[in-house]
Structure 1
Amino acid sequence: MSEITKIKDDIQHLNNQLISYYSSFQRLSEECLKIRTNSQEINIITENIKLKQKIEDFRDATSNGSLVWKIENFTQKWNDARSGRQISIESPLFYSSPTGYKMCARLHMYGDADAYGTHMSMFLVLLKGEYDAILTWPFNFRVTFCLFDQTGQGYHIVDSFDPDTTSPSVQRPNSNMNTAGGIPKFCPLAFIEPSENYYVRDDTMFINIKVNFNDEIKVLLPYTVQDNPGLPIHIQDTIRLKRMKQCQQLQEKRDAETKCNDREILARSLIHQSL
């Protein structure tokens, strides 16, 4: 009997050990699960922080009233516009300042209304923003569109418009998005229809949208055709101003030479008459 008792005791001891090991295993499993859950939460938080930073960086980069819009898959979008499947596309949002007007551009690749089938139509759209209550309305700033020549020859297509302050398109938005306002006949379709043209390369087109906040920028508009969009906005404006002054100086020199020549011609004429 003693041997049987001993065996029973050994079995009981083993059972107790198994129970203890199982309990330890469960605790370890729970700890591992907690660690894995915490790790996943940390990864999610880290990704959210990175995403928020990207959003902030993007907003900072598009909060100066200017946007370079990269339009990829041009051929597909062109065919969609021409067939009527999707007559217009919209740019990413951009802002006049971190607390300013909220905007986007709208492009009708195959034209809008009277320009349909003859010109690309380019518009600006104002959207409801969180700072609208402290902004000045109606929106009354000149807007410039520039379709970039990608051959490096500088044949950019540049045009601008001054908003009609009586139009609903520039009043404070009551809905999510105002009606669009802009340039119906921005670019003749004949300029972009050929497979080899200045403005579409690698099935991609670039358009710059810029809000001009002062009169000096309006004066500089003719000098934007040689802009390098890779430079900061204030540097571009400085270069335009320098370019404008150089052109003015050259024109003044030409005017002075013309006046001098006119005086010489007049003097010769008087001498000839006196003889």
Structure 2
Amino acid sequence: MESSESLTPVTGRRLPMQRSESTGSSPGELEPRFECPICLKCLDRPVLTSCGHRFCSDCIQKWLQKNRGCCPIDGRALDGSRDLFPDNYTRREIDQLSVVCSYPGCRIAMPLLAYDRHVSETHDQFEKSEPFLFCPFKNIGCLYQFKNPSQLNMHVEKLSHHHLQLLANSFEVLSMKVPGNVVSKEIEAMSWDPPPKEGSPTTESSVQALLKSLYERIVTLEQRNAEHELQMRLMSDELKRLRPKSDGELGLRACNGEYTWTVPDIENKVKRILMAGKRADELSSILLYSEGFYSSFNGYKFCAKIHVLPSQKPHLSLHIHLMSGEKDDFLPWPFTGKIAFTLVHPTHSALTVREVVCSRPDLKAFQRPIDLMNKRGFGYDQFVLLSDLADKRYFTADGSLRIRIQVDVF
């Protein structure tokens, strides 16, 4: 049986699990984990404090200078040179995010961090400047001017008939300037099948020529369709090859280190151990592993483990193990980051048990796995009493437990 490095929970440090919902890419719906608590904008060069909070680098430095080195969130003493660490993982996440400008008439896509600058330099300054937007049909006689894009868009939609009339007039003027034979040749070239001229074949021959032309067109279209079908099959095969083995595996790769483990049918096993009392040693232990999940799509791979040994006062132990992943050659070792263990109460969030720990590079549990899974785990040998699981009703209606593991890479 593998051994594990463990920590003993400290009473009073357990906090209710904080729930947050991910939002879309609209600038007005910034995810809370990407928002600086000081300036309330997207994190710029994010740093992580020793007490586990994220801020913009400039914001927290200025705050510490003005507030005697206290954390804005929990008031803990912070040293700007020792207690602030660059949060490169969050910075990479923000760099990969893009948004679309929500200003009326402006749908420019840009990196998330560039949005505030875009609004201040483009739209805020635009409101103060003189009118300079012209109708796109200015060259053919529409001389309207507008102060913002929304007015321009409304003008184009409502005066389409006027613009068509201007186009018709311009075409008429242009045709008068161009020699007639040139215009007639262009019109003839655009026509699909010109009428027969003098000396053309008989009507029957014309029909045969038309049928031949149609047949040739059908053959050409069928050849193109066959080529497109072949390309689609090749693309479909390539997509199947590149796609993960199953949708479930795709979800485990894209969970970004936030994995919820529903442990089924465990209530009856726990109750049997509790009812055995002094005879508990006669029962077999409980040892269960979760699926493997990833810290990012190409990141570290982990699994969670719960273990119960029958005893006079049995506890549920909770650990995390590193597993061999496909991209281990490209990752820095040993693993460094923060791990949160959460036992979710199904009805009362105040009873949710949450413990947060940081990795220790000196432990074997965080070295690169040699086998399928690192035999050393890290976590808590006595995470919660089995009697508390039953008395405080942590089990769901179907007798399951819900455990959440969150991994943040430094």
Q: Could you tell me the TM-score, scaled by structure 2's length?
A: 0.36
Alignment counterpart, residue 383 of structure 2, candidates 176, 181, 186: 186
What TM-score, normalized to structure 1? 0.52
Once the two structures are TM-superposed, the CA of residue 86 in structure 1 deviates from its matched residue by 4.4
How far apart in 2 are the matches of 1:126 and 1:153? 29
Tell me if 1:54 matches 2:250: no
Match of 1:88 among 287, 296, 306: 287
- From 74, 86, 91, give the equivalent of 2:266: 74
Q: Is the Cα–Cα contact under 8 Å of residues 110 and 116 in structure 1 kept in the other structure?
A: no
> Separation in 1 of the partners of 2:370 and 2:327?
13
Q: Given the alignment, which residue of 150, 161, 175 partners 2:346?
A: 150
Query: If each structure's helix is expressed as a fraction of its own residues, which one has the higher value?
Result: 1
Unaligned runs of 5+ in 2: 1-236, 275-279
Match of 1:131 in 2: 327
Report SS of the residue matched to 2:390: coil
Deviates more, 1:171-180 or 1:53-62: 53-62
**SS of equivalent to 1:154:** helix
C-alpha RMSD of matched pairs (Å): 3.0
Distance 1:164 1:99, change over 3 A: same
> For residues 312 and 289 of structure 2, what CA distance do their matches in structure 1 show?
18
Structure 2: distance between partners of 1:184 and 1:163: 16
Distance in 1, Cα, partners of 2:269 & 2:332: 36
Q: Which runs of 5+ in 1 are unaligned?
A: 1-44, 215-275
| Contact 1:138/1:172 (<8 A) preserved | yes
| 1:159-206 Cα deviation digits (max 9, x unpaired) | 122223111111011111112111122112231133xx2311220110
- Is the Cα–Cα contact under 8 Å of residues 254 and 294 in structure 2 kept in the other structure? no
Q: CA deviation at 1:108?
A: 1.1
Equivalent-residue separation in structure 2 for 1:190 and 1:71 (angstroms)? 17
Deviation at residue 57 of structure 1 after TM alignment: 3.7
CA gap of 1:173–1:153, structure 2 versus 1, over 3 A, is closer
| Cα contact 1:149–1:155 (8 A) shared by 2 | yes
Cα distance in 2 between the residues matched to 1:51 and 1:132: 17
SS in 2 for 1:88: strand
| Deviation (angstroms), 1:110 | 4.3
- Sort the Cα spacing of 1:153 and 1:174 in 2 relative to 1 into closer, same or farther, 3 A: closer
- Cα shift readout 1:212-231 (whole Å, capped 9, x = no counterpart): 335xxxxxxxxxxxxxxxxx
What is the correspondence of 1:1-275 to structure 2 with a 5 Å cutoff?
Answer: 52-62=245-255, 64-78=256-270, 79=272, 85-110=284-309, 117-178=313-374, 179-194=376-391, 197-202=392-397, 203-213=399-409
CA distance in 1, matches of 2:337, 2:312: 27
What amino acid sits opposite 2:388 in the alignment? F
Q: 1:153 to 1:126 in 2, by over 3 A?
A: closer
Distance 1:189 1:105 in 2: 18
Length, aligned pairs only: 162
Shift of 1:119: 2.2
Task: Check the 8 A contact 1:143/1:162 in 2, yes or no.
Answer: yes
- Work out the CA distance in 1 between the residues paired with 2:349 and 2:259: 22
1:51 positional shift: 9.0
CA distance in 1, matches of 2:253, 2:323: 18
Q: Would the aligned equivalents of 1:161 and 1:183 in 2 still touch at CA under 8 Å? A: no
Identity %: 27
In 2 relative to 1, CA 105–54 (structure 1 residues): closer, same or farther, beyond 3 Å? same
Cα distance 1:117–1:57, how it changes in 2: closer, same or farther (>3 A)? same
1:209 Cα shift?
A: 0.4
